[in-house]
A and B are shown apart, each in its own frame.
Chain A
């Protein structure tokens, strides 16, 4: 079970000072990347081998 969820973990920054404007941009970036059109484009790039991936997890 742990191995399954461990492979899904994303690490995001820790912010201490008030930075809601920055966080708004981070949230917007997530929504942009995960929009249906961009997801399809990412998927195509991944399947075609155009995207050189990394995944440092053990």
Chain B
């Protein structure tokens, strides 16, 4: 075997990466210019490209309702608010996810209860989640990490047994399916990010989908008050002129871009699937590399990231850092994981330390106002 590039040998990867994203073509540019010429830079009633994109989501996923948001985080906030998460309500959330999943729970005044993830799939460990259920548990958040679908049979069974709402975070997984159904239609409500690095791009944007008209109405009240009178299903709710006062209205230019991008979604997913399968097949004979498993009911989609596990013990204990450095020198775009585990991050971790300090200093009185307390006790 030739000398490592790290030590002066020739690098292996010489071909250029065609991984620039997003791919914006003339149709996207034309759509944006047209809207600008028309002066339609704020649309409060859900008409135009916003309504068209929502209709496209309904048509694509089969959900009854879609409500575009200004980003995936606000769509998640609306989803948790929509299922009724309120002060003190606990929501089961994987610790291994982007922080918006848990942050949206906090924004709804709920308490994220962090759960383990299954190393085979990188998705929430349902068995672990089951052990964390209390009388205050209101919902379970499922994130289809990197486009790999979580075990929805187990999630739905657990949710049914404990009367939990299921919120799907589909931000990595546009077009992924479970038993032939689109992700986002399996739980009570779902949120998709349409941020610029996702497979379906609005620049910034998000989409909430649900079959439940009450959840849809509550999402309108939370952040789309301009549409309450027009689109709420509840007649009494239609009398409201405003909601809670957030403005989660999306930008029409983002909707126009996403509408054009939608035409490529299936093809892009196919291309990503082919490349992913080809790559992991080529790595399969390396004992120190383990690829994540897709459950047999699942079809990946979105492919927001590619993750493999490196087991140093199978490679005379070369550290992950050394491996990454050597691979990078060979021209491989490779790095360590960039998502921190949320229960170790300053926001949640500091609350744990603060709580432990309170516990240590005073056995007489413990503040019950800190909503994080519930999550960190276990």
Chain B residues in 8 Å Cβ range of A37: 1
Chain B residues in 8 Å Cβ range of A39: 315-316, 318
Minimum CB–CB distance from A22 to chain B (whole Å) comes to 4
Chain B residues in 8 Å Cβ range of A10: 289, 307-310, 320, 323-324, 334-337
The 8 A CB mask of A23-58 against B (1 = contact, 0 = none) is 111111111111101111111011000010111111
Q: In the complex where A9-B336, A10-B335, A11-B335 touch, is A40 in contact with B316 (Cβ < 8 A)?
A: yes
Q: Which of chain B's residues has its CB closest to A4's CB?
A: B119
Inter-chain CA distance A31–B16, complex, in Å, is 20
Inter-chain CA distance A15–B128, complex, in Å, is 33
Of the listed residues B6, B11, B304, B325, the one surrounded by the most CB atoms of chain A closer than 10 A to its CB is B325
Beta-carbon contact of B116 and A1 below 8 Å: yes
Q: Chain B interface mostly helix, strand, loop or mixed?
A: loop
Q: Chain A interface mostly helix, strand, loop or mixed?
A: helix
Beta-carbon contact of B13 and A22 below 8 Å: yes
Chain A residues in 8 Å Cβ range of B272: 14-16
Q: Which of chain A's residues has its CB closest to B317's CB?
A: A43
Q: In the complex where A14-B304, A24-B282, A30-B332 touch, is A46 in contact with B13 (Cβ < 8 A)?
A: no
Q: Which of chain A's residues has its CB closest to B331's CB?
A: A29
Q: Which of chain B's residues has its CB closest to A38's CB?
A: B4
The 8 A CB mask of B39-68 against A (1 = contact, 0 = none) is 000000000000000000000000000000
Contact of A12 among B119, B268, B279 (CB under 8 A): B279
Inter-chain CA distance A18–B327, complex, in Å, is 22
B33 at the interface (CB under 8 A from A): no
The 8 A CB mask of B109-134 against A (1 = contact, 0 = none) is 00000001101001001001000000
Beta-carbon contact of A20 and B278 below 8 Å: yes
Inter-chain CA distance A12–B305, complex, in Å, is 7
Q: Which of chain B's residues has its CB closest to A15's CB?
A: B275
Chain B residues in 8 Å Cβ range of A22: 13, 15-18
Interface residues in B256-288 (C-beta closer than 8 Å to A): 268, 271-272, 274-276, 278-279, 282-283, 286, 288
Inter-chain CA distance A8–B321, complex, in Å, is 10
Beta-carbon contact of A29 and B275 below 8 Å: no
Minimum CB–CB distance from A30 to chain B (whole Å) comes to 6
Chain B residues in 8 Å Cβ range of A8: 309-312, 320
Please give me the 7 A-B residue pairs with the lowest Cβ-Cβ distance, nearest first.
A27-B282, A53-B321, A9-B337, A29-B330, A5-B119, A58-B340, A35-B1
- Other than the given A2-B96, A17-B18, A55-B319, 12 more pairs (CB < 8 A) read A9-B309, A10-B307, A10-B335, A13-B19, A15-B17, A15-B275, A20-B278, A22-B18, A23-B282, A39-B318, A40-B316, A41-B4
Q: List 26 A-B contacts (CB under 8 A).
A: A1-B119, A5-B119, A5-B309, A6-B341, A8-B309, A8-B310, A10-B308, A10-B323, A10-B336, A11-B306, A11-B335, A15-B279, A16-B23, A23-B275, A25-B12, A25-B15, A26-B282, A29-B331, A30-B283, A32-B1, A39-B316, A53-B319, A53-B321, A54-B324, A58-B340, A58-B341
